[in-house]
Structure 1
Amino acid sequence: MEKAWKILLINQFHDILPGTSIHEAIENTREEYAELRELGGKLIRDGKNKILNNVSVKGDSVLVWNMLTWQTKGIVKAEIPYAAKGIKNSDGKVLASRVYDKDGKHYIEFYADPVPAFGYGVFTLCDETAEFDTVKATKNSLENKYLKITLDDSGLLDEVIDKQTGRQILTGKGNLLTISHDKPIHESAWNMEFDYQMKFWPLDKAESIEVVEASPLRGVIRIVRKFHESTITQDIILEKDKPTVDFDTTVDWHEREKVLKAEFPVDIRSRNASCEIAHGAAEYPTHYNTSYDQAKFEFCAHKWADLSEGGYGASIINDCKYGYNVHDNVMKITLLRGPILPDPVGDIGMHSFRYSFYPHTGTWRDADTVRLGFEENIRLDGEFIKANGGSDIGHTFAKIDGDSVILDAVKPAQDGNGVIVRMYESETRHCTAKVWFDLDYSSVVECNLMECDEHEIPCTNGEFEFTMKPHEVKTFRLI
């Protein structure tokens, strides 16, 4: 584990991390990341196998892993040794699913509900089936119980209607992809100029539009667009029981000195937009009233950005992009660039990523945007386990009673004395949290980020309690 961490950290160097390295450094990083994936994959596999060796189930099952500290649900895919008819949860409820063959192997996709927090749930293969409503999908529409979406003939979003409130959230074409000139005065990989927005091409024509899935699990519309030598393929996805519309995107990118963005004009008025940063959130102005405001035309963020007024808002959530722009009521996410310095071929090639549009009541705090961001980045994972005469239905390895408290790290202590756990407050609130871990410990010591002990806190049957200030980070040693 230490070797893997050191490989990761050395490649967090400030020019590697944002993609501003020379080409030779990027090629070296590519090789080291391949080694890191191998090391990390083995660590994960070995850890899962240790758990699986102690899991006993009555029937052939799919075990679903959830690495988040709250109970969740969602679509899971797993390879299975035979073509089962269906699958059910621990309560015996048959779940929405589909079984199919690919490359001579059998697979099941199903809606896992519920999956225990920070642990696993057991879902049993069965010979039963049930009827479920299909997520509606045509070339011009998608609809589930949360959202009704209308697309124009070029595949742009005309309407996104929140069915809970009846509100149409868009004021113009949604998910409009644009390509703009991106020619800063110097150091193109590091800089963007305000005037990049002055010349752009809207990608408002589609090469093809087709419905690729309309099932009880999801509706999917696939749209292909081209610009010069680049091809953009998007699956617009509306999943069962999910309040977001997702854009699963593959780009064969060959543009130089261009920037690709997706934009959503929304019926929301606010002087500030919010976004996730490390261990918290920050606000940026949505206006250019001063030169200082104008200089913030592009801001960095982690898993989400949000624009909310008093009782309603919208979030853009993503799995690997870090540039946003919110001006007046138009939300934009930066998807790709084409810098020529210091790497003349930077970003050329195939890219796969996913972003989501999430209209919601209340603010981002009320709407669980933080949790949705984590769920988009830490997906449920399923694998087959053969019947072995037991009755296991699932297990939780950690419990956190405190909705805005996020578990950030669990690691061996650097000095070998105990286990270090780190948490932070994510929603700008004062709060109290109660925490329990399925580990062998009898005392808890609060420490600093360098793991220097500060003071012991009470611990009863493995449970301990503490208070947190807005965006505070706390670290504990479990001994």
Structure 2
Amino acid sequence: MRDIARLIQQRPEVGIRHSTPQAYFQELKRSAQPLPRVAKSLNRWATGCYSSMARLKKQFRQLENEYFLTEKMAAAAAFQGLMKYPQAELEEALKDLLFVEFHDILPGSSIPPAEQDCLQTIAHGLTILARIKVEAFLKLSSGQKQATEGEIPILVYNPHPGKVRQQVECEFNLADAKFWNQFTDVQVYQDGRPLPTQVEHEASSLHKVDWRKRVVFAAELEAGQMSRFDCRMKVLPARKPPVLKARKGTIRFKTNQLDIVINARTGRVDKFCVEGIHYCQKNAFGLYVMQDNEDSWGMDTKNYNKAAGRFKLLDPAAAGQFAGGQGRIGAVRVVEDGPVRSVIEALFGYEHSFVCQRYILPKAGTEVGIETRVFWQQKDQMLKLAIPLTSSDWKYLGQVAYGVEEFPGDGGEIAAQKWVAAVDRKQKVALTCINEGTYSFDFTPAAMRLTLLRSPAYSCGPVGERPWAPQDYFVPRMDQGEHVFRFYINAGRKNRRLEEVSFEAQARNEKPFALSFFPEGGGVKPKPAVLIDSPAVQVSAVKQSERGRQMVIRLHETTGKKRSTVLRLPLVRKSKKVNLGPYEIKTLKVNPAAGTIIQTNLLEK
């Protein structure tokens, strides 16, 4: 204050006065001066922060997803009188989430003790939410009949306001373990109708013990409610071997919608064709090591385009050693193959780092899964997953906070949320990529690259001309060790892809909860809390109001177009047409007792 007073005395020609932000903006409004309008992100700066501490960023995304998922489930159960709404517990988990968003934590520029402390904070929030989610799930299983003798039920709760079509994965134990040569196959039924089902390798590693089962089945989950599936078992002499095999150095996977070729000599994708349209050049989904430095923030770096090398397929001896076996194995293999999907595994190495990459190819539909398990031991380097595209006339888009932004194709590092897309201007098709916890990307005229992680020093930045990090003792680097990244690639007509991708990304991140559970058979089946008739309108939150016992529903238009949707509330037997502007957020407050629906603001006032 003394400095300001001194400045006022020193500069009498300038009117300087003590004021408030409100008074400043009122004066600005009265002046009627035209102000510059910025309609794009203020990035890029500190581009290293988009991917530093990838482990913490992924855990943060998990906590964020679990919070919104659990909040929806708790609201659906509480507003039907099945449980008390856990307001205090949710608030405690929310504080954990908000704390981790603080500067130097989520950006990934802190020191190792801070990283560990915040991972513990995230784990605390996840533990709270896990307990609430299980309680809500059990309450929402009300009205489910008891299992028939010899069957094992699987219940899946879909918290979203629209139907979700996904490959459901769930594990359970058989009644008894068998230690001799046999294999128990599983068939999943819904309302007596068999669904495409396959048994895959379970999470445990017990060899030739027929006990634990991991079933994968294709299902359509009803909106906002519990779906019931029943498993029936059949004993076979042995597990059926994969039908899909490598021929002449390639593995070709072909359905009526997909034609994908994986090169068995490189482990990369040489053909990615969806409904007759080729989207990728050869060598797609390759892993490239980029030159980086010790700077945690990446203060002076706009792009990471200089390659230090790339991961290459392991030879049979190295592949066997990396896989944990005692012999030689092929580095590219079909590890799962059934009525639902085929899974191809490829093993790569670069210096002291290794990768197990899996291509998950659906027998129905066009969404391809990529699972990249990285064992990272590089220093001052960055890892990118590259998707070279077939033409050079692409527009690049990505999800940002409650909106979509167009990004330049200049190779610079950018930050986005749950999905990015490449739109072909000529053919009017789009390739979309959903992630589960990755925020950093770059685009060139003919490629999309996903930044997986980087390994600078902790809390290190440029200071003058001297070395940035100490050179005379060991300095630990970030994100060493094991990481798992998952992506979901889809392609099709531009308008449909861009209308559906935000809902798909939400459903992938806020996953419907599946559990093998034997219900007691009593009660009444709960109703859906909220239903929406447009995939382009997202329900980002369903919760109890901060004050009182009203239901708060937050809607968001995801495509940048004006649209209307019908909001249906089976709990109060009400429907309401809702009009939304481009990217508009609209908050509604429902009084279940009175049956009223009113619009409110983000503060619920």
Question: What is the identity, as a one-letter code, of the residue corresponding to 2:388?
Answer: P
Query: Structure 1 residues 357, 206: closer, same or farther in 2, change over 3 A?
Result: farther
Bigger Cα displacement from structure 2, 187-196 vs 276-285: 187-196
CA shift, 1:97, in A, is 1.7
What SS does the corresponding residue of 1:141 show, helix, strand or coil?
strand
**Aligned to 2:395, which of 272, 276, 287?**
272
Query: Structure 1 residues 122, 135: closer, same or farther in 2, change over 3 A?
Result: farther
User: Within 5 A, what are the aligned runs for 1:78-477?
Assistant: 78-79=171-172, 81-82=174-175, 85-90=186-191, 92-99=192-199, 105-126=211-232, 136=244, 138=246, 140-152=251-263, 153-162=265-274, 164=275, 166-183=276-293, 187-191=295-299, 193-194=301-302, 196-207=304-315, 208-270=331-393, 272-287=395-410, 297-310=412-425, 311-342=428-459, 344-363=476-495, 365-366=497-498, 368-386=500-518, 396-439=528-571, 461-477=573-589
Question: What is the identity, as a one-letter code, of the residue corresponding to 1:143?
Answer: K
Query: Structure 1 residues 51, 135: closer, same or farther in 2, change over 3 A?
Result: farther
CA shift, 1:238, in A, is 0.6
Query: Structure 1 residues 365, 224: closer, same or farther in 2, change over 3 A?
Result: closer
CA shift, 1:182, in A, is 0.8
Query: Structure 1 residues 214, 395: closer, same or farther in 2, change over 3 A?
Result: farther
CA distance in 1, matches of 2:536, 2:477: 42
CA shift, 1:356, in A, is 2.8
Question: What is the identity, as a one-letter code, of the residue corresponding to 1:325?
Answer: D
Question: What is the identity, as a one-letter code, of the residue corresponding to 2:481?
Answer: G
Kept in 2, the 8 Å contact 1:117–1:399? The answer is: yes
1:445 equivalent in structure 2: none
Kept in 1, the 8 Å contact 2:313–2:347? The answer is: no
Query: Which runs of 5 or more residues in structure 1 are unaligned?
Result: 288-293, 441-460
Kept in 2, the 8 Å contact 1:428–1:471? The answer is: yes
CA shift, 1:62, in A, is 1.5
Kept in 1, the 8 Å contact 2:527–2:571? The answer is: no
Question: What is the identity, as a one-letter code, of the residue corresponding to 1:339?
Answer: P
CA distance in 1, matches of 2:314, 2:252: 16
What SS does the corresponding residue of 2:145 show, helix, strand or coil?
coil
Question: What is the identity, as a one-letter code, of the residue corresponding to 1:298?
Answer: E
CA distance in 1, matches of 2:233, 2:524: 20
CA distance in 2, matches of 1:68, 1:191: 40
2:68 equivalent in structure 1: none
TM-score by length of 2: 0.68
Q: Choose 1 or 2 for highest CA Rg.
A: 2
Aligned residues: 443
CA distance in 2, matches of 1:365, 1:217: 23
**Aligned to 1:36, which of 109, 121, 125?**
125
What SS does the corresponding residue of 2:260 show, helix, strand or coil?
strand
Question: What is the identity, as a one-letter code, of the residue corresponding to 2:459?
Answer: P
1:72 equivalent in structure 2: 164
Kept in 2, the 8 Å contact 1:154–1:206? The answer is: no
What SS does the corresponding residue of 1:314 show, helix, strand or coil?
strand
CA distance in 2, matches of 1:97, 1:271: 38
Query: Structure 1 residues 395, 58: closer, same or farther in 2, change over 3 A?
Result: farther
Query: Structure 1 residues 84, 157: closer, same or farther in 2, change over 3 A?
Result: closer
CA shift, 1:324, in A, is 1.0
Question: What is the identity, as a one-letter code, of the residue corresponding to 1:299?
Answer: I
CA distance in 2, matches of 1:409, 1:137: 45
Structure that is richer in helix per residue: 2
Whether 2:139 is the aligned partner of 1:50: answer: yes
What SS does the corresponding residue of 2:105 show, helix, strand or coil?
coil
CA distance in 2, matches of 1:15, 1:365: 36
Q: Deviations over 1:387-408 (max 9, x none)?
A: 6567989953321123311010
Kept in 2, the 8 Å contact 1:170–1:264? The answer is: yes
Between the aligned residues of both structures, percent identity stands at 22
CA distance in 1, matches of 2:233, 2:525: 19
CA distance in 1, matches of 2:536, 2:521: 39
Query: Which runs of 5 or more residues in structure 2 are unaligned?
Result: 1-89, 176-183, 316-330, 461-475, 592-605
What SS does the corresponding residue of 2:128 show, helix, strand or coil?
helix
CA distance in 1, matches of 2:352, 2:126: 31
CA distance in 2, matches of 1:192, 1:120: 51
1:452 equivalent in structure 2: none
RMSD: 2.8
Kept in 2, the 8 Å contact 1:258–1:337? The answer is: yes
Kept in 2, the 8 Å contact 1:268–1:313? The answer is: no
Kept in 2, the 8 Å contact 1:217–1:240? The answer is: yes
Whether 2:116 is the aligned partner of 1:27: answer: yes
Structure that is richer in strand per residue: 1
